[in-house]
């Protein structure tokens, strides 16, 4: 199973948490007040949308201050008893270390009690959750942190929690900030990521950093030579995030109603969800008979999808979609264990990549055919392979071909088998650009005593590593012998 980048790159200390500087400062002040033995508030509520670093911040704070951690999250038992057991006990056990050894209270470190995704603890069936937390907030001898998406519910139900806690809002992560983090990750993974891909990821994420890191992993893992077309993959109508949520509800959990609802809310075309399920079922289902059942439902869904397209009757979509959601979900008798890194359907990936390539090749061939007075097909089959080879080996040929055929930067990159923003491609385009006026106005150019060095300001990207231009004439044109 692949490493989860969101875990791999989880900030380890407060300095690594990006964004929300005010919140961080207030938290540090709060921690200081605990260290001084006079806490202003016993508990802090961190509220904010998913994926902005709430959990990371809590853990980082504990680490920075050398505090122990007692953690509860919603995926564990979410009832009042559990909170009493874990949290209230934790709050009084400062005289024991993590191994249960007795420590004098002087040596006992503080323990940060984290109730993560606390809105879920308060929620629904167990009404006892909120009083238990209110009790904890009132009695704790240890710093408590409540993490919630939406504070409204909680504060509405308990004025004690509302009045006795310090409430801090964690905001969405800004695009520029996000870019810095994504760049670092890409560098660490040895990925070259086109600007467009970064932009698309950031746009899609809507301030959710976890989603952004996840998207980067989805397109970047095992794909160091990322191209512009990967941006296309990301842009494709589906929101990767909601697909992940859906995969989880269908493949991991067993609540069929919820799976169905999620599938409907996700509002994805069943053709798409089909490919996602197909790719990811084997990552979750390990029991052969369950695996079999799950694929059985997928194949039924496929039959319905076939009928939809044959009869053009979209009413059948709902059957396909129910097989996918209810059917696949109910193929297991209990929730799947462990944690699966869901994958973007490789089929879509391959198709979009090869489609982009095909478009590129036929675009170049059209240009060749216009110049060589031949059909596009002939240009594609007979001429392009030679041109590609010559383009690789002959600098003069490159320059004149770019100029006469008006090749675009993308096309040049394709012929050279380089990235669009590769330094070599850039240099080449600049050189062509420089030669152009020289051809059109030779008089003016000759008056220029010195050859102009490449103009720095013209380079749009940041710092293209300046390499020496290839020695001219090292290899003469293939046409010359
Ligand atoms: N402010 C941030 N700074 C750095 N990384 C972040 C930040 N917010 C989120 N991340 C990334 O997203 C992942 C999930 O963050 P997490 O703290 O679990 O979010 P939340 O608890 O708010 O849903 C982290 O492991 C990290 O990779
Ligand atoms: Mg969290």
Q: Which helix (H) or strand (E) holds 44?
A: strand 43-47
Which range among 125-134, 312-321, 440-449, 450-459 has the greatest average pLDDT?
312-321
> Closest residue (by CA) to atom 15 of ligand 1?
53
Percent over 70 (pLDDT), the chain: 79
Place of tokens 């089909």: 274
Could you tell me if the CB of 219 is within 6 A of ligand 1?
Answer: no
| Cα of 4 from ligand 2 centre, angstroms | 15
pLDDT category at 141 given cuts 50, 70, 90 is confident
User: Model confidence over 24-69: pLDDT tens digits?
Assistant: 999 999 999 999 988 989 999 999 988 999 999 999 999 999 998 8
Question: CA-CA distances (angstroms) from residue 242 to 46, 245, 262, 301?
Answer: 24, 5, 9, 20
| Cα of 61 from ligand 2 centre, angstroms | 14
Mean of per-residue pLDDT scores for the chain: 81
| Cα of 356 from ligand 1 centre, angstroms | 33
In angstroms, the CA 235 to CA 232 distance is 5
Q: What is the DSSP string of 405-435?
A: HT--HHHHHHHHT--TT-HHHHHHHHHHHHH
| Cα of 211 from ligand 1 centre, angstroms | 9
Q: What are phi and psi of 464, to 5 degrees?
A: -70, 125
Could you tell me if the CB of 148 is within 6 A of ligand 1?
Answer: no
> Closest residue (by CA) to atom 7 of ligand 1?
53
**Spatial contact of 14 and 57, defined as CB atoms under 8 Å apart:** yes
Could you tell me if the CB of 9 is within 6 A of ligand 1?
Answer: yes
pLDDT category at 461 given cuts 50, 70, 90 is very low
Q: Is the model's pLDDT at 92 over the cut of 70? A: no
Q: How many CB atoms lie within 10 A of CB 83?
A: 25
What's the alpha-carbon Rg for the chain, to the nearest Å? Answer: 30
Percent over 90 (pLDDT), the chain: 43
Amino acid 338: pLDDT: 78
Judge residue 470's burial from the number of C-beta atoms within 10 Å of its C-beta, 0-12 exposed, 13-18 middle, 19 or more buried.
middle
User: Model confidence over 223-265: pLDDT tens digits?
Assistant: 777 777 777 666 654 455 578 889 999 999 999 999 998 888 7
Q: Which helix (H) or strand (E) holds 229?
A: helix 229-235
Amino acid 118: pLDDT: 79
> Closest residue (by CA) to atom 6 of ligand 1?
53
The model's pTM: 0.55
Q: Is the model's pLDDT at 442 over the cut of 80? A: no
Burial of 91-121, coded b for 16+ CB within 10 Å and e otherwise, reads: bebbeeeeeeeeeeeeebebbbbbbbbbbbb
| Cα of 117 from ligand 2 centre, angstroms | 6
Could you tell me if the CB of 55 is within 6 A of ligand 1?
Answer: yes
Of the residues 210, 213, 241, which should be mutated to test ligand 1's pocket, given the most ligand atoms within 8 Å of the CB? 210
Q: Is the model's pLDDT at 415 over the cut of 80? A: yes
């Amino acid at each position: 199973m692949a490493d989860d980048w969101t875990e791999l790159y989880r900030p380890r200390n407060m300095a690594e948490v990006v964004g929300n500087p005010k919140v961080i400062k207030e938290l540090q002040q709060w921690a200081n007040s605990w260290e001084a033995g006079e806490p202003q508030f016993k508990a802090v509520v961190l509220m904010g949308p998913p994926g902005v670093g709430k959990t990371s911040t809590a853990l980082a704070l504990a680490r920075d201050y050398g505090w122990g951690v007692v953690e509860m999250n919603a995926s564990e038992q979410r009832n009042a008893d559990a909170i009493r057991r874990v949290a209230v006990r934790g709050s009084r056990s400062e005289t024991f270390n993590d191994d249960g050894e007795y420590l004098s209270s002087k040596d006992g470190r503080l323990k940060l009690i984290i109730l993560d995704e606390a809105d879920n603890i308060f929620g629904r069936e167990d009404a006892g959750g909120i009083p238990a937390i209110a009790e904890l907030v009132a009695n704790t001898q240890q710093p408590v942190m409540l993490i919630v998406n939406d504070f409204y519910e909680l504060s509405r139900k308990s004025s004690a929690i509302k009045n006795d806690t310090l409430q801090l809002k964690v905001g969405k992560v800004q695009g520029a900030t996000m870019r810095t983090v994504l760049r670092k990750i890409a560098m660490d993974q040895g990925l070259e990521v086109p600007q467009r891909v970064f932009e698309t990821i950031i746009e899609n994420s809507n301030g959710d950093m976890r989603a952004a890191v996840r998207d980067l992993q989805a397109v970047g893992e095992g794909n160091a030579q990322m191209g512009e077309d990967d941006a296309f993959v990301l842009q494709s109508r589906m929101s990767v995030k909601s697909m992940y949520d859906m995969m989880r509800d269908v493949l991991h959990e067993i609540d069929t109603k919820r799976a169905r609802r999620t599938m409907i809310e996700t509002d994805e075309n069943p053709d798409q969800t089909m490919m996602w399920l197909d790719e990811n079922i084997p990552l979750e289902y390990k029991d052969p008979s369950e695996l079999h059942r799950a694929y059985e439902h997928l194949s039924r869904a496929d039959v319905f999808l076939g009928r939809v397209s044959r009869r053009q009757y979209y009413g059948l979509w709902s059957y396909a979609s129910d097989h996918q959601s209810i059917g696949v979900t109910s193929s297991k008798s209990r929730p799947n264990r462990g944690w699966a890194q869901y994958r973007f359907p490789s089929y879509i990936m391959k198709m979009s990549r090869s489609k982009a390539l095909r478009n590129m090749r036929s675009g170049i061939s059209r240009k060749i055919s216009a110049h060589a007075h031949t059909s596009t097909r002939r240009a594609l089959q007979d001429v392009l392979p030679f041109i590609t080879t010559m383009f690789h080996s002959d600098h003069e040929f490159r320059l004149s071909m770019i100029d006469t055929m008006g090749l675009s930067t993308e096309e040049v990159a394709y012929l050279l088998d380089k990235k669009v923003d590769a330094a070599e491609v850039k240099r080449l385009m600049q050189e062509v650009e420089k030669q152009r006026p020289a051809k059109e106005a030779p008089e003016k150019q000759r008056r220029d005593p010195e050859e102009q060095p490449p103009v720095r300001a013209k380079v749009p990207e940041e710092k293209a590593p300046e390499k020496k231009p290839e020695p001219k004439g090292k290899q003469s044109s293939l046409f010359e012998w």
